């Protein structure tokens, strides 16, 4: 066996490579071309291609990371703006729910209060509750009964209220919270306010016998309106609770 060192010089500079080959069976063959397959044993270009490819891959990865970082920042900025609005809207919604819950609790309390009064015979009209007695008492005793109920004798301050009470009495009569006991012909309501708008029946007040200092309301078909009468007379009475607001 004879070893022969040959140099296979390839045309391209990056393909130079020293190899040892056995030409024991190839003495008659020409030294050219090189007996070593170029692409089978020649590895240096592969490293370079791999290195170049790896370098390109690193550049691409760096570019991708840069793009992703930039997009992430932009997304974060874009996200923070609606996020702030969301927080504000959420806080407002929580406040609204809290307010509605309080209003609902207050309304439930009002409804329970109204139901309790209705069971005791009270009637609601225009922010007030009215109680019309079935018993009969003097004006003073009637007022005391209203006071025990947390109310006072009714103060009639509008035509609508007058008509409502007449309808409730259904032809009967009852005490109202008006008198001139302190000063004759100076009529005042039970809360101390002066009478401004009156709904006296025809010919009233007449202070018959110089002793009529308390007012009652008539509701019969032929006699509707107020009448002054002796305070000691026993009549039905009307209590009013003011400011029963919803």
Could you list the residues that contact Ca ion (CB under 5 A)?
Answer: 155, 180, 204, 206-207, 212-213, 227-228
Rounded CA gap, 244 and 236, in Å?
Answer: 23
Residue closer to Ca ion by CB (options 213, 235) is 213
Residue 163, Cα to own-chain centre: how many angstroms? 40
Q: Is the Cα dihedral 152, 156, 161, 166 positive or negative?
A: positive
Task: Select 228 or 235, whichever has its Cβ closest to Ca ion.
Answer: 228
Beta carbon of residue 153, minimum distance to Ca ion (angstroms, whole number): 10
CB of 161 to Ca ion, least distance (A): 5
Contacts of 214 (CB under 8 A, 6+ apart): 139, 175, 178, 179, 181, 228, 229, 230, 231
Please name the residue that has the structure tokens 């309304």.
107
Q: Taking a C-beta distance cutoff of 8 angstroms, is the pair 177, 143 a contact?
A: yes
**CA 176 distance to own-chain centroid:** 44
In whole angstroms, the minimum distance from the beta carbon of 226 to Ca ion comes to 9
Tell me how far, at minimum, the Cβ of 122 lies from Ca ion, in Å.
14
- Minimum distance from residue 198 beta carbon to Ca ion (Å): 13
ω before 124 within 30° of 0 (cis)?
no
**Which residue's CB is nearer to Ca ion, number 136 or number 173?**
173
Q: Which is nearer to Ca ion, 42 or 130 (CB)?
A: 130
Give 80 or 206: the residue with its C-beta nearer to Ca ion. Answer: 206
Supply the minimum distance, in Å, between the C-beta of residue 179 and Ca ion: 8
Distant-in-sequence, close-in-space partners of 240: CB < 8 Å, separation ≥ 6: 128, 129, 130, 131, 146, 151, 152, 153, 154, 155, 177
Quote the least distance from Cβ 82 to Ca ion, whole Å: 55
Nearer to Ca ion, 76 or 147 (CB): 147
Could you count the other beta carbons within 10 Å of the beta carbon of residue 192? 7
Which CB atom, from 34 or from 161, has the smaller least distance to Ca ion? 161
- Give burial (CB, 10 Å; 0-12/13-18/19+) of 85: exposed
CB atoms closer than 10 angstroms to residue 157: 15
């Amino acid at each position: 066996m004879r070893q022969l060192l040959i140099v296979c010089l390839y045309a391209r500079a990056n393909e130079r490579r020293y190899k040892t080959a056995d030409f024991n069976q190839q003495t008659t063959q020409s030294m050219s071309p090189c007996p070593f397959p170029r692409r089978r044993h020649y590895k240096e270009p592969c490293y370079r291609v791999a290195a170049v490819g790896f370098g390109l891959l690193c550049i691409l990865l760096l570019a991708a990371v840069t793009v992703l970082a930039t997009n992430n920042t932009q997304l974060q900025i874009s996200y923070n703006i609606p996020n702030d609005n969301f927080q504000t809207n959420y806080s407002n919604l929580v406040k609204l729910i809290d307010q509605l819950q309080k209003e609902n609790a207050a309304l439930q309390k009002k409804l329970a209060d109204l139901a309790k009064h209705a069971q005791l015979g009270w009637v609601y009209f225009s922010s007030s509750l009215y109680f019309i007695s079935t018993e009969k008492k003097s004006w003073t005793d009637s007022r005391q009964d209203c006071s025990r109920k947390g109310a006072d004798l009714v103060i009639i301050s509008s035509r609508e209220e007058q008509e409502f009470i007449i309808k409730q009495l259904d032809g009967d009569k009852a005490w109202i919270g008006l008198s001139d006991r302190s000063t004759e012909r100076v009529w005042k309501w039970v809360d101390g306010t002066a009478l401004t708008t009156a709904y006296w029946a025809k010919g009233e007040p007449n202070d018959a016998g110089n002793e009529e200092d308390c007012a009652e309301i008539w509701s019969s078909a032929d006699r509707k309106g107020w009448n002054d009468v002796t305070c000691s007379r026993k009549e039905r009475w009307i209590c009013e609770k003011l400011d029963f607001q919803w």
